[in-house]
Structure 1
């Protein structure tokens, strides 16, 4: 495989991975749940916030910017 084919193959694989992730349903799509801010324990958040990009990365407990999904009170 020459250099050009390697670059194209890598670009295609990366694009495929991004599109596959974009097609995944989000946690917030569940109408029976809602985000509740400030209750997540350290390492117990449900999604990105505070400069990190993943669930389970909260650095401190009860941070007002971190959230957990909880049962929707209006249902």
Structure 2
């Protein structure tokens, strides 16, 4: 009986910990948006395109396929010298030549 109770308690505690760990990520995404072309080299949040794996792997400043989380509604107001519009984009873009 004790062993079963301990196993059940451990399983419950583990599942609760996983659920709480996922909650902050969901909260971040709710109030943030992915903004491409605004991250500095090695400062992207994730998925910086071919040749990169995740956060901190962008190779150069303002890379068009690297994104950073910014406050919702501010991406297209954030400066990006490589963007065709001069501002961050909500999707990947081909960088303009300087």
TM-score by length of 1: 0.57
2:43 aligned counterpart, secondary structure: coil
- What is the 5 A alignment of 1:24-39? 25=22, 27=25, 29=26, 30-39=29-38
- What is the 5 A alignment of 1:1-75? 25=22, 27=25, 29=26, 30-51=29-50, 52-73=52-73
Task: Give distance in 1, aligned partners of 2:48 and 2:58.
Answer: 8
Structural RMSD (CA):
2.2
2:35 aligned counterpart, secondary structure: strand
The structure whose Rg is larger is 2
TM-score by length of 2: 0.44
Task: Give distance in 2, aligned partners of 1:53 and 1:71.
Answer: 23
Q: Which runs of 4+ in 1 moved over 3 A?
A: 24-27
CA shift for structure 1 position 42: 0.3
Question: Structure with the greater relative contact order (CA < 8 A, sep ≥ 6): 1 or 2?
Answer: 1
Task: Give distance in 1, aligned partners of 2:49 and 2:32.
Answer: 22
